[in-house]
Structure 1
């Protein structure tokens, strides 16, 4: 009489996501763009600080210096998260012939949400800074 063997099957689910790698590249290019844009905004802020030394102006300058530091930290963290996820996804794509584990898709969505949130914040900051420039330049 033959005994039945319990064989545990791999129950992970995989998904084909051809746009995954392209989206990582798009995010990294955008992050680089925003990083360069912060350089420009910081230079403009230095111009304002040099030309206007009043208390109100200096409060605004300090506010934007702090915001630019915060956004640089966000850029560094976002860039790290994108690169880390891209590396994991690439390994998964190679291992599973163009497919990634569903967990990677969920992580991708999380990073996409993080990127979109960052983009919203940086655009609002740019708009706020432009209003500040109009007032003090």
Structure 2
């Protein structure tokens, strides 16, 4: 099995983890704003849009939690696959980390799109 240098892998994992923490915090703020909108606007149209965003927030929260879990698992696998010198890991563990990075980039893009939609919605209903 081929070995790969671990120099930048730890930094990438930490960067993704910090990004996921940021999006969790952002979801809390968005949820608070959504609750304000729901309290101030009890009409059917607003309620439908509020419910839509509530569902999107739940989906993003679940996906962020799943990515964090996968990231932690990959980190443990990286630690276990370190060679005796502590500089190289198995290539398949790195490939798993790269897949997590790709999934994070997708989540980031989807979150930003949802955030923009929410801001447009909030500008009308706040």
TM-score band, normalised by shorter chain: over 0.9
**Counterpart secondary structure, 2:82:** helix
Cα deviation for residue 66 of structure 1 reads 0.5
2:64 matched residue in structure 1: 75
Q: Structure 2 matches for 1:1-137, cutoff 5 A? A: 12-93=1-82, 95=84, 97-137=86-126
Work out the CA distance in 2 between the residues paired with 1:88 and 1:95.
15
Work out the CA distance in 1 between the residues paired with 2:60 and 2:84.
36
Larger radius of gyration: 1
Aligned-residue RMSD, C-alpha? 1.1
Flag structure 1 segments of 5+ consecutive residues without an equivalent. 1-11
* TM-score, L = length of structure 2: 0.95
The number of aligned residues is 126
Work out the CA distance in 2 between the residues paired with 1:95 and 1:50.
59
Work out the CA distance in 2 between the residues paired with 1:51 and 1:62.
15
Between Structure 1 and Structure 2, the one with more helix by share is: 2
**Counterpart secondary structure, 1:18:** coil
Structure 1 stretches of at least 4 aligned residues deviating more than 4 Å after TM superposition? none
Flag structure 2 segments of 5+ consecutive residues without an equivalent. none
**1:46-98, Cα deviation, whole Å (9 max, x unpaired):** 00001111110000000000000111100110000001001111222254531
